[in-house]
Structure 1
């Protein structure tokens, strides 16, 4: 006994005390409170350990001997106690769990130094700025809200186009019922101008070392100028017609009301009823000056229900609006006319000299159509807007397109920004290699549109013509292809300015109508869950996301008819997310007895304007798809039995079946043979109210033939009512077999400095991982392509190919390649992998759109555009093109000689303890390898 006491005293002297800590966590996350004591000496006896965690003198968790108590919401791992780790984990942290926690540990009834841990919640704020209309050049006040944060304070700052207009200011905020804080800051004494209409405003909130920024744009109201006028009449007893000119106002929505002596005047009735119960009405139409000069016949037609031919009357404008009658002028009027005629003659004589140099302007009259919009504008799908121009000199016409008031440039072949990738723009170019291979350097199909706002867009400008036609002259079509985005195009209009080449004067301007951007919804499956406070009712919920506009309809049905939803966010206007898309959900409830047994089929139909057909989701009860792990194998050394097993988790209902089959190998397509007996299923065991798990095992003793068959294996097939197709897991003989690795890599260089490196791995299981890297003193990872095939010997082969181009400076655009920007040729990966040294050369050319000056009809231009879009999609979907890696080699700062190129491939496999490397070095140096 005395010896044990002495050993324990020595053990206490060797204990290292744990230090106090401060732990912070976000709400609803797990947090670990450390309590670690390092013992130097023998292994601890768990029966002598006593651990207790307290907070504010209240016990949280306690362990002693065979007894263990821990409150709900906390967890720990007693198996770590023998290692001196007594840490406590808080599940789903909340404000109520903040405070100072104390960890007390004793060993063999001797108290060890305690540990104090301060736990607190850190919640980032949610930033919002209420949108409102502001008056132009009128004092305006903005409010920025930061809600749901903890602890205080936060710091607010304001900026316009990244220029700070109000420095950071500290605000403590007010606590809410849930314990989180809300703060608000105001931007006052701000006078909006016209330049602020499209400017980006930012409210930045800093909290606990992190920044949260919200960008918004102003809705500026421009007050109109109003002028009241009267239509003169000859009689004072006739009705008096007034008109009000409202000019220079924004936005377009505006209404006009009339008042007399402070009392609002009602709108005049459209029709009046006669004594014989018939109706009388008078309608007005104002002819524009151009329409009035056209003269001709004016007709008024009246259409009525049930009448095939409308009743109409017509009159000649020469009679209604005579212009050849000699007006009766007074002497003063005659004098004014005489002076006006003299002034006109003088002006004509002064301008006669200038008119001679501009005599051909009479031939420059143009007829410009309205802007034609696509019938449906869908997010992410290309749309086309166009305008038709007709005239005698359309060959000298140029067009400029605008989005609202921002000019649009062609971004269809714009390269990646240098600031993002530290490289210059390289267009789509082709490099020819020996042995019949070609490499393609890809070019981006998207570039910046509005750089001041940091947004991206795809725009492609087309001009077809001039096409010769009869009548007024030639025909020209100007079109614009764009990819709709809600952030750019919502509520926007396209403008087209028509002018002559070399002239600043705008001949014609056309403005399109506002168009609605469509985005079809993404509809989830029907999710079933328990109803609170009513265990006999199951709630069914379906969600629709990423749709636009916000109007969406959910209709629920069962086999007996249509159901009424109990909760829905579809009828009201949901708030859009940061990208401008909307989300909504709908919920329906049914008795548990009908849902769980699957006797009642329930489905929901989702209707939206962007859908040609409604989306339908259905369910036959509360079901959950199982999750099946990979097969794990092990061998019992005592009886040499071979066992396989897998975990099947989170499924419902509990009915599940497992079938084991023998797998034949050695062929390109593995085939299953007879069913293997001896499989067992442990479970199902319930883990949650409607979730189960099970374990499938197979114990067998393989025969000598199966031991020799290294290519065969076993298949585990899991079937459940929630699966349309069974879940299949394979296990092969010789798992974790290392592949055969060649001693070196193969390389082929082209005359243009592009090298193709390849390596072939034979056999092995599972598939090895291959990583290529290249450089000088340091290496950078490269992009490669791998294919897996069956070799001549019937074994699987993994072939990897990597192409690179070396340089000693940043890449530039050669002049000879800039002339071929419209050609696209690519190396086929499969051919390069199979035989990099092939002598037969095959080129793949893709044609892109070009100018076609012989088109005769506008419909043909649209057909050409559709063919071009199909070609673009095919080229983009071609995943077999081999990527060219750019490797820059610069002169070493310490030496005058240029760095040598090194290309290295790293091969990792579970059967290899460390990776295997194969290296190729420039200047015919020896190929090194290490394993």
Structure 2
């Protein structure tokens, strides 16, 4: 026996460490990590007894599976399914997710001597899902398509665009943004001017990723805007109503809406469309003015709205031009009476000759066979459902259908919803806009005309008619009318659909069909099992599960423990739960167990939730006792500049003792702070048991002075803060505590103010400050002996040296009038045509608006004076030096800026004074 053991140890010395490998798996898939060992032979030629071997799987310092010398243990989510007798010690990871990524080490030993050791890296590889939400564009108008890729890992992805299979925008790499579930999402845009050839072209968005390549092809919906002409029918007399009509030419698609305005007020409404040879449509819309509306006179406008068009197209005219007052009637009353009598006579003769035969033929042709309303088998909240009616007959091409919910008529809202979404995706070009005091700057263009009013939350209904289709050899045809809708409990509960069938142009209803009442389903959202101590009995643990947002109200909870069913002690499902404002129901169920059963960690408890909207019951399970931790505020020491900083917080009253602490550095921005990076150097002291089933720990982070200085002076917008994030199995979301740096750094202030004068007498004063935290405050003032506040703008950028640069600019025009307490507004001012004149005082391009041609300035000024100034616009201050309070008259102009900062004991002032030679020349 001793000889066999010696031979075994000789063979073990020949074993080498295996090279590492990498395994990639998709989300929620199972991945097998290999670990295969060739068992050594003993002196008698047989393999070593597998019972002498031990295998240990570890990752990030934690043991996930062990079999052999000590007690066997396999953590939840892992499985050892290999044949140990043949040396297969592979580990299977069940349901791969992002949190399970990392390096897994397999160690096989015999009598405490390592026989085999290997490393395997497990990583998640998830392919992206594509969508193109915006597919409406306007002909020959700059449009933008958006392609969204979501749910991929790891980054990056590469986007490219194609048209009819040819690449029109080459591939470009995008890192994307991380979503709350840990995966990534990215967006790519295609900006172009649609042409008529794009109507039937196939566009495609292609995304390349390590997981797989994805292609999404689609056809564009191109909108053609019409030409509009407004006209009026001749008047028969002064007292008859005036009928207007609006001709629309060359538009596409067929759906179009027309609204009428009189003196910019909406007129209450009456509509028919024909197709042109080129595929576009034409229509004429009428509107009859009452005698009172005709007497008002003024301008009448016909405005046309189309899907995807932000600016409506319209035509306008004055009533005096359309219907002159001295227009004479076409026919007299006696002439009209004669014509009417002759027409009646002809009609009566025709009816007497052919009426009887025509009536029999018409009744035979107009007979219809209409089916009942067909309902879908299941209607789920938020998912589309469709009801249909089939119509058969010889004249179904002249049949029209009208749908009702109970007794309320249903209109098609699918096109309206699509159009409203398209308006938000259109892109506006840049143009010159007007600012206060007569100045203009380049900014996004303002569209003329009325914008469409915002739409509220509407129910989704889509009405479609298919046919006519040949159904038999007798000449009968089939027509299918369908209604697609999204069920809402508040609207459709206990409702019925009605369909009325009639002929086009006829008021008589041929057939009416009414559906049966339908049930609307909504699957419950089931929470995890919550475990809490019972206040009056600490030896009993209460377990609670909640279900919400379900319909109808019948729901069942069933509790199980190690294969036997438990009886709940409290349940809202047994009584009738009350619906919320939207008609959904919520319920809970509670069960109790002795704490001794759960503390062992081996007792498995689960609950199954049964509801008619679920194809399979929803199951939640728990194992062991859980207590939520409490985290204190972060405390810091050594916060002076140049000293090391130590941060810490206490974590108390939690169970089980396993938890994770992560330190994050935040970057301060104009809006919410965003995570920038994970900080290294954090430590956790403990956990230490303070009471039975209660632990506490302390988390600390030590930051060196050099890293803190780099943070304050680096890019990212100045000082930020630190977050301590605690993760525990009892927490649905991690607990976070925030702490901010309090270092104060004075800015670098130049010795004087920079000034540049234009040829028109406008002075641009500027001051550049570097560094500093927090942000400085500046106040500009100007005048003679007395100073008055001025309006300035500030821009902030990062300099080449990595420090923040704040540039303050103030524009000033000197006046010779009497001194006033506030800067004055000038009606005919000057215009700075580019933004460079704001940021660069040496830039040229200042000219009078009055020099523009055709009175363009006057019209634009009237429009811009009604609204507010554009943000970031340069304000021209006008200061008059004269006999005012404190002025002796004829003094020199002074411009002063006051600089206030927390690091400065007193404010710092910089002053510019007008030279004496400039004063004499101006006089």
TM-score (norm 1): 0.37
